[in-house]
Chains A and B, each alone.
Chain A
Amino acid sequence: MTVMAKNSPATARSHLASASRFVLNLPFAYVGTALLLLFAYFTRPMLLSPLLLLLIVRQAAPLGIAVIGQSICMRVLSLDLSIGGVVVAVSYILTSGALPFSGPVLIAICILFGLLVGATNAFFITRMRASSVIVTLAMAMILTGVVISLGQFHAPGDAPEVLKFIGQKRLGIFPIALFVWLAVVIPAALFLRFSVFGRYVDAIGANPNAAWASGIPYVRVVTIVHILSSLFAVFSGLLLVGFVGVGSMDIGGDLALNSLAAVILGGITFGGGKGGVLGPAMAAFMLTFSFNLLTSLGLGEPGKLMIQGAIIAVAAMIYASRRNK
């Protein structure tokens, strides 16, 4: 009976239809990565060598970690544009020598700093009820401005050895940064999927008013989300500083925008109440791979910006119109 059913053309077609629906419902990042890899296979096959791919993964790791924070922010209908500012501040704390401490102590200070920035953002967003866009933008302006003016007294220098080791060395052929990324992504994914907190996040994203009415600790969840986002930004900054090896004033400047792009490509929309952690991670890889591919194709900055903008716009339109059906 089942064998017959499988062979009949009607069910075959419905299998095909459900398979294609499954693919279409996947976050754009998966399809996009597959298309990009295919394109690279025909035009720049050397990009697909394991060594280069792993290098690209290492390059994608800081973005991949920052994206987790941005994605949970967007899932509770908020945004964090202060990521770039936090990363610049972290790079300054670590490399300028303005604070005369050893590497591990500086890292602890960075984490405390992240807590403070996240809590400040959350205070303005939840207590003062200000728009998260404005608050986090203002925060980024303040952090960048303060760091650059402090840079006149202590210029940024070398990164602590611990971070250089994590950012640059590899185990076998696998870069340590990849393990750090996995060690952050997998627990984050499991936590958001199975914990009560994760359910709260979903509920608030799906319908804030309903979540409020059913007694979900709305303010507390949004506060925690923003603190988490700043902490992920700090981790991303630690990894980035280690990877680059020296601090600078424009490190991570495009992180806020790219993380936003990656979250959208990773299948999270405002008010969807849906979305995972793996989609955005895949999107972080996809974006980094596409930058490398475009560079190897000889496209300069203008071409890159145009394609990046077009990708974000098209992906966002596809999602939003799919959701509205």
Chain B
Amino acid sequence: MSWLNILRFPGRSGLGIVPIGVPIVMFIFISFASPNFLNVQNLSNVNAQIAALLIVALGQMIVAICGGIDLSVGSVLSLTSAIIVSVDPALAVPLALLAGLVVGVVNGVGVTIFAVHPLVMTLATLTFLQGLALLILPVPGGDVPDYLEAMVDFSFLGLPAAFFWCLVFATAAAVVLRSTRFGLRIFAVGANEDNAARNGVNVVLHRISSYVLCSFGGVMAGLFLSARVASADATMGAHYGLESVTAIALGGVLLAGGIGSVPGVIAGTIALGLMTNGMNLIGVSPFVRAAATGLLLLTAISLQPRKAIGA
């Protein structure tokens, strides 16, 4: 009885029936539909495919819990990819992180101090950064620094590198959310900004920090993805902005703020990854898959109703 109640009223974790149930149902369904699904090679493929998305989605979750949304994170990913092949290898990672910091601060300042709607603000930076990335790297290609390639190409205890990337970032995000003041305060800001401010939380600072963390997520995913394909592409991240929003919505994160959890985001990302992988295995065209993802998103979002109507 009590665990049923927890599933129905999940509190601020958002881990209700849908976020937990969808990936499980999919897993069972696909393993019946396609015999190749359950072999180790394929499962490690799924892991590698969703690692970048998971890192982006964890950043998106932090922004969403704080009551915002960051569509520009996909362009940050592309920009990172363009930067690391265009500068000296020793400077690649620091410069990419610096770019992420600047983007996060610009987004955060626009949203908090100028009070621009987060969608509009991040749409503007999305467009700008996509242009910048194409300016730096007009054609795909280039040499990714060797040390980055080494970081995604090892395996330890029989587990691929992608698994450890996921593990590190998921743990870091979970620690930030559960065991730091910062984590507690972004929940407070997202749930009710005015109350948080009256209780002495610096709303502006926490909002800006959440955007910076989200941009760092984009940078890290960009490093991972470029190193994995051993080449850079200035449009590499174009879909990640929307897909990360889809993943966190599937994972029970409330886009209005104040509700969300790392396990939920992992579940949402896995659901999205399983959908892609399963449809690949069954042999469905990638465009039908896009439509199916849209339907899944509509269903997931209808199952977590809010009070307000509108954006």
Known contacts A141-B293, A142-B294, A301-B134; decide if A260 and B115 are in contact (CB<8 Å): no
Known contacts A302-B138, A324-B115; decide if A257 and B123 are in contact (CB<8 Å): yes
B131 touches A316 (CB 8 A): no
Chain B residue at minimal CB-CB distance from A263: B120
Residue A186 CB within 8 A of the other chain: no
A146 touches B311 (CB 8 A): no
B310 touches A78 (CB 8 A): yes
B308 touches A149 (CB 8 A): no
- Among B242, B249, B308, the residue within 8 A (CB) of A208 is B308
Q: List chain B residues, Cβ under 8 A from A270.
A: 117, 120, 311
Q: How far is the CB of B169 from chain A (nearest CB, A)?
A: 24
Per-residue contact bits, chain A 95-134, to B (CB 8 Å; 1 contact, 0 not): 0000000000000000000000000000011101111111
Q: How many angstroms between the C-alpha atoms of A219 and B308 in the bound complex? A: 11
Q: List chain A residues, Cβ under 8 A from B127.
A: 257, 305-306, 308-309, 312
Q: How many angstroms between the C-alpha atoms of A218 and B308 in the bound complex? A: 11
Residue B166 CB within 8 A of the other chain: no
Q: How many angstroms between the C-alpha atoms of A93 and B116 in the bound complex? A: 38
Residue A139 CB within 8 A of the other chain: yes
Chain B residue at minimal CB-CB distance from A314: B124
Q: List chain B residues, Cβ under 8 A from A307.
A: 131
- Among B134, B135, B309, the residue within 8 A (CB) of A129 is B309
B297 touches A141 (CB 8 A): yes
A138 touches B128 (CB 8 A): no
Chain A residue total in the interface (Cβ 8 A): 55
Chain A residue at minimal CB-CB distance from B234: A302
Residue B215 CB within 8 A of the other chain: no
Per-residue contact bits, chain B 131-155, to A (CB 8 Å; 1 contact, 0 not): 1111100100000000000000000
- Among B114, B131, B291, B302, the residue within 8 A (CB) of A130 is B302
A138 touches B288 (CB 8 A): no
Contact residues of A between 184 and 229, Cβ < 8 Å to B: 208, 218-219, 222
- Among A78, A305, A316, the residue within 8 A (CB) of B120 is A316
Residue A304 CB within 8 A of the other chain: yes
Q: How far is the CB of A257 from chain B (nearest CB, A)?
A: 7
Residue B181 CB within 8 A of the other chain: no
Q: How many angstroms between the C-alpha atoms of A302 and B119 in the bound complex? A: 22
Residue A145 CB within 8 A of the other chain: yes
Q: List chain B residues, Cβ under 8 A from A124.
A: 298, 301-302
Residue A31 CB within 8 A of the other chain: no
A130 touches B294 (CB 8 A): no
Q: How far is the CB of A319 from chain B (nearest CB, A)?
A: 8
Q: How many angstroms between the C-alpha atoms of A302 and B82 in the bound complex? A: 13
Residue A79 CB within 8 A of the other chain: yes
Q: List chain A residues, Cβ under 8 A from B287.
A: 144-146, 148-149
Residue B290 CB within 8 A of the other chain: yes
Interface centre among A76, A152, A317 (most CB of B within 10 A): A317
A304 touches B311 (CB 8 A): no
Q: How many angstroms between the C-alpha atoms of A195 and B236 in the bound complex? A: 48
A134 touches B309 (CB 8 A): no
- Among B117, B129, B134, B255, the residue within 8 A (CB) of A134 is B255
A131 touches B131 (CB 8 A): no
Q: How many angstroms between the C-alpha atoms of A148 and B128 in the bound complex? A: 28
Chain A residue at minimal CB-CB distance from B307: A129
Residue A166 CB within 8 A of the other chain: no
Chain B residue at minimal CB-CB distance from A85: B294
Q: How many angstroms between the C-alpha atoms of A137 and B243 in the bound complex? A: 11
- Among B119, B242, B291, the residue within 8 A (CB) of A142 is B291
Contact residues of B between 285 and 306, Cβ < 8 Å to A: 285, 287-295, 297-298, 301-302, 305-306
Q: List chain A residues, Cβ under 8 A from B249.
A: 134
Residue B221 CB within 8 A of the other chain: no
Contact residues of B between 100 and 133, Cβ < 8 Å to A: 110, 114-117, 119-121, 123-133
Residue B225 CB within 8 A of the other chain: no
Chain A residue at minimal CB-CB distance from B301: A130
Q: How far is the CB of B42 from chain A (nearest CB, A)?
A: 24
Residue B69 CB within 8 A of the other chain: yes
Q: How far is the CB of B194 from chain A (nearest CB, A)?
A: 14
Q: List chain A residues, Cβ under 8 A from B290.
A: 141-142, 144-145, 148
B128 touches A305 (CB 8 A): yes
- Among A126, A146, A304, the residue within 8 A (CB) of B291 is A146
Chain B residue at minimal CB-CB distance from A310: B128
Q: How many angstroms between the C-alpha atoms of A133 and B311 in the bound complex? A: 6
Q: List chain A residues, Cβ under 8 A from B85.
A: none
A321 touches B115 (CB 8 A): yes
A302 touches B131 (CB 8 A): yes
A321 touches B114 (CB 8 A): yes
Residue A68 CB within 8 A of the other chain: no
Q: List chain B residues, Cβ under 8 A from A316.
A: 110, 114, 116-117, 120-121, 124
Q: How many angstroms between the C-alpha atoms of A159 and B55 in the bound complex? A: 44
Q: List chain A residues, Cβ under 8 A from B61.
A: none
| Top-7 shortest CB links A-B | A309-B128, A305-B131, A145-B291, A141-B294, A309-B127, A306-B131, A145-B290
8 new A-B contacts, CB < 8 A, other than A138-B294, A301-B131, A305-B130, are A77-B309, A129-B309, A130-B305, A134-B245, A208-B309, A310-B128, A313-B116, A317-B114
What are 18 contact pairs spanning A and B, CB under 8 A? A79-B119, A129-B306, A130-B305, A131-B255, A131-B256, A132-B311, A134-B245, A134-B297, A138-B297, A142-B294, A143-B291, A145-B288, A145-B290, A145-B292, A145-B294, A222-B310, A270-B120, A305-B128
